[in-house]
């Protein structure tokens, strides 16, 4: 029973479960937003949503693939412009990258080494 409890309470498993739940919820939000964009496109184009399901040049039905491709492109654009770009800006603003050069802990160790050398200690 202890092994099962350790398995359930393992940090990665809980984080993964939270990520799946949040991802599923977020997918519903993005799908709804994409539907809203498609609705706006249909109003601009005269009431027709982009749908290529019946497109079959040379009797090869490629319409469903084209519809899925257009939906994917719209979904990717929504994710990039409304999630990735604002996230990157917020991350850069609130958690700026460290300055290039020697990390603080390494610089401190080097300073300690130099002090020991100046005192005549063996390094």
Neighbouring C-beta atoms of residue 42, cutoff 10 Å = 14
Token digits for 11?
């940090």
Provide the whole-model pTM: 0.51
Neighbouring C-beta atoms of residue 79, cutoff 10 Å = 15
**Type and span of the H or E element at 12:** helix 11-44
**pLDDT band with cut points at 50, 70 and 90 for residue 112:** very high
Q: What is the pLDDT of residues 11-54, one digit of tens each?
A: 677 678 778 888 888 888 888 887 787 788 778 777 666 677 78
| pLDDT score of 85 | 92
């Amino acid at each position: 029973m202890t092994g099962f409890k350790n398995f359930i309470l393992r940090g990665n498993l809980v984080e993964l479960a939270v990520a799946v739940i949040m991802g599923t919820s977020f997918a519903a939000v993005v799908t709804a937003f994409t539907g809203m964009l498609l609705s706006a496109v249909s109003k601009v184009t005269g009431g027709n949503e982009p749908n290529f399901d019946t497109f079959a040049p040379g009797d090869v039905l490629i319409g469903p693939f084209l519809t899925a491709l257009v939906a994917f492109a719209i979904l990717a654009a929504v994710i990039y412009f409304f999630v990735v770009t604002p996230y990157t800006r917020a991350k850069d603003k609130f958690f700026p990258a460290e300055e290039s050069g020697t990390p603080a802990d390494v610089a401190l160790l080097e300073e300690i080494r130099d002090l020991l050398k100046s005192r005549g200690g063996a390094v």
